[in-house]
Structure 1
């Protein structure tokens, strides 16, 4: 799946750059316990204009996700899966419709307000890892804590690297780590703030099958232990089968979908 137009690319860098504004905006976003659903999208649409042509990527799309639920979104390359994930995370804004996250209508929040709402409550796992190349593994995991009220909890970041099997690699930069190790760092970064919701965009897409299977096991083990809500985009039916619910994005809308059973010879969108 192409990533040059991925609305979530460079998210970590952008959120880091806005950390000063996030801290003040966070004061305006209450952190009270919210009732289910964690996320509710109502008749979302996304259109983009190129020259005189308007392309409709999503239209009349609705989705509710309950606390603790895991949801897989499948679809062919170019179907708009990453665009949808960016909208659901509040990283992009819809052309029409309303999205509520943790009980807050995102249309009522500006960019800083949306970032403040995510801080400490939302984690991300990306296909291309999105680690900052000049930072060590420990510093990459620490970054979300610095953007939350838990700044400076170095020991917490260290413990999460130990949990993903990288306790001895804390000082290594991404270029010194394998793809599987980089994704383990990314998973530790996603869970380090004890988030309520984790978004994963093709988390095994750049990994070989054996490494990908290990990452799947790790992701779902940590997610189950934490009771986190998980929304993931994938073309991998084996990964989708691990989720509570599967949906397919087709013609700009989500429809219920049953992944191919194991050993069926199918499994890629």
Structure 2
């Protein structure tokens, strides 16, 4: 896990205009061939009115440090369910799932939260900002849960970096949708996490605003050297990732550059 000094250094060089202009030295994380995320024969079933419903079935997945991976699929295919499982926000029915080399099945809810603290950031479609907290206070939340501790200056610098230096004391209801998502992105990156999950990050935004948010997300991800797992229905957004995986019939299939399934993977998705 990165030290407070390293995180402080990362946010104190936001570019020529203290936002996203100019160059920014990319953080190079140590290369480790152990996957950040590893799923083997993952299954998720839930009770329905007519019996057990299988959402994910014998799903295999490997994601390594520094990758950006898009997960696409039709509505109801289980994309958000898969993301929640990978992040340890939900529990699998059977199979093996490891995050940072630690089996999530071996941890209770508090243990999974401790594993995520400071190492995992989230960006959600509906922003998930606490309505009674200011933009600054929302960005401070992950720092309060991490080993770095509360650093108001660091949170302010991240809000400046996403272009909201004039909005730090505003409540979410006083911000536009695009501004709320910028707060959420600052919150996701403030601890300089190893992994960011984004669930339809532009889904509640108009195309122009969504494009600007996507530019911001990918810029910060590239500069920070973070691993990004992105769930989206937008093929243009998915195309910006290193890999695109399609969730269909409970399994993942790699998609090549032309958009056609890569049948050679036979459901076992690997880099």
TM-score range, shorter chain: 0.7 to 0.9
Instruction: Provide TM-score, normalisation by structure 1.
Output: 0.83
What's the CA shift for 1:174? 0.4
Q: How does 1:76-91 map to 2 (within 5 A)?
A: 76-91=74-89
Instruction: Provide TM-score, normalisation by structure 2.
Output: 0.82
Matched, 1:248 2:249: no
Q: Whole-Å Cα distance in 1 between the matches of residues 135 and 33 of structure 2? A: 35
Q: How does 1:212-231 map to 2 (within 5 A)?
A: 212-231=210-229
Aligned partners of 2:32 and 2:65 also within 8 Å: no
Could you list the runs of 4 or more consecutive aligned residues of structure 1 that deviate by over 6 angstroms after TM superposition? none
Q: Which runs of 5+ in 2 are unaligned?
A: 1-30, 260-271
Give secondary structure in 1 for the equivalent of 2:143. helix
The verdict on how the C-alpha distance between 1:258 and 1:34 changes in structure 2, with shifts beyond 3 A counting, is closer
Q: Whole-Å Cα distance in 2 between the matches of residues 57 and 235 of structure 1? A: 18
Q: Which runs of 5+ in 1 are unaligned?
A: 1-32, 262-269
What's the CA shift for 1:150? 1.7
Give secondary structure in 2 for the equivalent of 1:155. helix
Aligned partners of 2:43 and 2:93 also within 8 Å: yes
Match of 1:153 in 2: 151
Q: Whole-Å Cα distance in 2 between the matches of residues 97 and 47 of structure 1? A: 12
What's the CA shift for 1:50? 2.5
Deviations 1:168-216 (CA, angstroms, capped at 9, x unpaired): 1000000000000000000000000000000000000000000000001
Aligned partners of 2:69 and 2:229 also within 8 Å: yes
Match of 2:181 in 1: 183
What's the CA shift for 1:91? 0.6
Match of 2:121 in 1: 123
Give secondary structure in 2 for the equivalent of 1:243. coil
Q: How many residues align?
A: 230
Q: Whole-Å Cα distance in 1 between the matches of residues 42 and 155 of structure 2? A: 36
Deviations 1:47-106 (CA, angstroms, capped at 9, x unpaired): 001245110000000100010000000011100000000000011111010111101011
Q: CA RMSD in A?
A: 1.6
